[in-house]
Amino acid sequence: MTSSSNPNAISLTISQFPQNLLIPNIDNIVSLEIVNIVGKEADFKFEFKGENIDIQVIPEEFNGNIKLKANDPKKVNLKLTPKADGYGKLIINIYWLKVIEYIEKVQKIRTTISRSKIDKILSKVKVLNSKIIDTFSRNEFIVETNKNEIKKTEKELETLLENYNQQQASLQQNGLINIDQIDALYKSLAKSYLSVGDIYKALEKSLKLSKQEEQIQFYYDLIRVYAFTNLGQTIEIIKNLKDQNRRDRVLAEIAIGYIDINPLEISKIISLINTTSLRDQAIIDIVSKCYTNQFDLALTLSHMITEELLKIKVLFNLIKELNKSKRNEQILQIITTIDQIIKNSTQLSLTENQFNNQAYSFFKDTICFIAELDCPESADKAIKSIQNKETQDRLSKDLFDLIYEMVDEKKTKVEPTVIQSQYYTLNTYVSQLSNELQQFALLGGNASSNALLREFDFNILFLSLFSLNFSIFPFLDRAYNDLQYKSKKSIAYYIYPSINNHDQEELSIIQRTLKQFFPVNNLKKHLVIFNLDFIPYLGKPTVIFASNSLALKEIRSKVEKLLGEKATILVDNGIFQGGTSLEPIKNTLGAMGADIVNLVLSYEFLNDYDLFTMFIESLF
């Protein structure tokens, strides 16, 4: 048995332990009494393990974790079933599942932010500016006229054209009429038709201008002006234009012009622009002009921007405007929009260039807004909603001081502490089971493990065939193991505590089991068998030998030499020489010519283990 324990936690008492050879089909019971002596209810873990032994724990609740009340004795039985010849090991480990309190620095979400960052963020937002310097005036195209005046102008133009053609035919290069006069009349007529709502006539006249560039510019200017008279018809005209670039530009110009006319139409006009860059720029131009006084329009148009970084920049401009009046709820709505743009984007990557990019900077800023305008907990949720763990960690690190803090937190943990650790070796046997073997084990019979393993490398065999008020198995087995592992010396033993003075039934059991455990053909030739018995205290350790063996003289000499004055050594040829116990020994082991010696030791040897082992060593 080996053990270590902490007596301040639990008391473990073994009230029953098998002294017999463990065989199947009999009750091999270890009975334990367990008491929690911690002083209060506590949790424990019991671990019962076996080597070459199956263990049934009764009750089962002790086979694992269990809560025990203080000073409340509990009985536990371990039913052992051997699985191999030789020996098995019973291991008992008891852990106190001690609840330990300790202080640990833990990361916590702040209840409020450590400092405001919004003003600093918004100070970096670049104000939107329109790139267009538009000097165009619609009023220049609106004239007071009527149909009669238009007819009069048509006649005037017709006459002027005839005279110009005649002048050209006569090769008069410096005549009274020049082409600029004709172009002026065409423009005047176009404006007149535009003013009375005849856009097609107006466009027709614009195409008569002599210079192509002026012709095209005037053509688109007419369309642009007419859009404020009849938007629907203007859009149909624009749809049929071939030059997509000029077409998109005029739509952008019309949209800008509608800021003060009818803002509700702007989204429809913008949606007709096919060129992404022109459309995005048109929105920027419009938003820059209206976000201070037409915020809802600016917000609606910002969602139509295709280029995502540009869209985010516009939205931050809108946030800057909202912040002037502390419209926090609307700011948070836009922040949510920016977050979704970035999270769902196929254009932007937060991790690009090791997080050194505009998208990451914008996203980090949105988290700051959430922390300040909502709460740090919401900011933490926003960070954790990101799928990419690397991005999560980077944001948590960069914004740690704003959102988080390290605080002392009292924690508890269960710390399993070994308070009992013991193991016991028990002799086991599962082969050649018989009725005699069962009776042998039930009476407390036992044999050394080397014999059970059929390892017959010993020269000394102790046979104990007498019943005492106590079992000598623990004492003899300890000596057997110590000699084997410390001195590398091997003995064997056989125990059968007779209760019927070696009657015929007992003699049959002894002879059958001796033959089974110690087959004569396998034993060494120079074997000495000691028929061991004990007598009460004599005041001094006493050894009594009785035998007709020629080896007795040498044995006595070796014992006297080693023990000296520590014990009295006697040889008796009277009362201790015979006895019924010799009969089964002679009938079984005596046939091989072994030396058989009756050996009687006084109880003093049982109280002095070192002397007992010294005595055994003297026999070698």
Instruction: Give residues with Cβ within 8 angstroms of 139, minimum separation 6.
Output: none
Decide if pLDDT at 420 tops 80. Answer: yes
Q: Give the pLDDT confidence score for residue 178 in this predicted structure.
A: 86
What is the Cα–Cα distance from 188 to 190, expressed in whole angstroms?
Answer: 5
CA angle centred on 91, ends 87 and 97, rounded to 5°: 175
Q: Which residue, among 319, 309, 261, has the nearest Cα to 286 in the 3D structure?
A: 261
Strands 595-602 and 528-535: parallel
Q: How would residue 592 be classed by pLDDT, with cut points 50, 70 and 90?
A: confident
Q: Give the pLDDT confidence score for residue 94 in this predicted structure.
A: 96
Decide if pLDDT at 45 tops 60. Answer: yes
CA angle centred on 56, ends 51 and 57, rounded to 5°: 110
445-494 pLDDT, tens digit per residue, is 999 999 999 999 999 999 999 999 999 999 999 999 999 988 889 999 99
Mean pLDDT of the chain: 92
Q: Where are the domains of the chain?
A: 3-102+415-421, 433-618
Residue 553: CB atoms within 10 A of its CB come to 11
What is the Cα–Cα distance from 477 to 444, expressed in whole angstroms?
Answer: 14
pLDDT, average across residues 210-224 = 95
Decide if pLDDT at 186 tops 80. Answer: yes
506-532 pLDDT, tens digit per residue, is 999 999 999 999 999 899 888 999 999
E strands, 83-149, in order: 86-109
Strands 460-464 and 528-535: parallel
Q: Give the pLDDT confidence score for residue 171 in this predicted structure.
A: 66
| Token pair listed for 173 | 């290069």
pLDDT, average across residues 246-272 = 94
Q: Half-sphere exposure of residue 67, counting CA atoms within 13 Å on the CB side?
A: 3
- Contacts of 73-76 spanning 24+ positions with Cβ under 8 A: 73/33, 73/34, 73/35, 74/33, 74/34, 74/35, 75/31, 75/32, 75/33, 75/34, 76/31, 76/32, 76/33, 76/34, 76/46
pLDDT, average across residues 208-230 = 95
pLDDT, average across residues 127-131 = 75
Amino acid at 32: L
CA 23 vs. chain centroid, Å, equals: 47
Q: Give the pLDDT confidence score for residue 173 in this predicted structure.
A: 57
Statement: 3-102+415-421 belongs to CATH 3.60.20.40: no
433-618: CATH, from 3.40.630, 3.40.50, 3.90.660, 3.40.1350: 3.40.630
Decide if pLDDT at 135 tops 90. Answer: no
Q: What is the residue-wise DSSP string for 581-604?
A: THHHHHHHTGGGT-EEEEEEEEGG
pLDDT, average across residues 325-341 = 95
CA 32 vs. chain centroid, Å, equals: 40
Q: Average the pLDDT over each of 124-133, 397-406, 426-435 and give the range with the smallest value.
A: 124-133
pLDDT, average across residues 107-133 = 88
Decide if pLDDT at 377 tops 90. Answer: yes
Q: 459: exposed, middle or buried (C-beta count within 10 Å: 0-12, 13-18, 19+)?
A: middle
Q: Give the pLDDT confidence score for residue 126 in this predicted structure.
A: 87
Residue 101 to residues 141, 292, 343, 409, 412, Cα–Cα distance (Å) = 88, 59, 42, 10, 4
Point out which residues pair with 105 in neighbouring strands. 408
Asked whether this chain's domains 3-102+415-421 and 433-618 adopt the same fold, the reply is: no
Strands 542-546 and 595-602: antiparallel
Q: Where are the alpha helices (DSSP H) in 240-353?
A: 244-257, 266-271, 276-290, 295-302, 308-324, 328-343
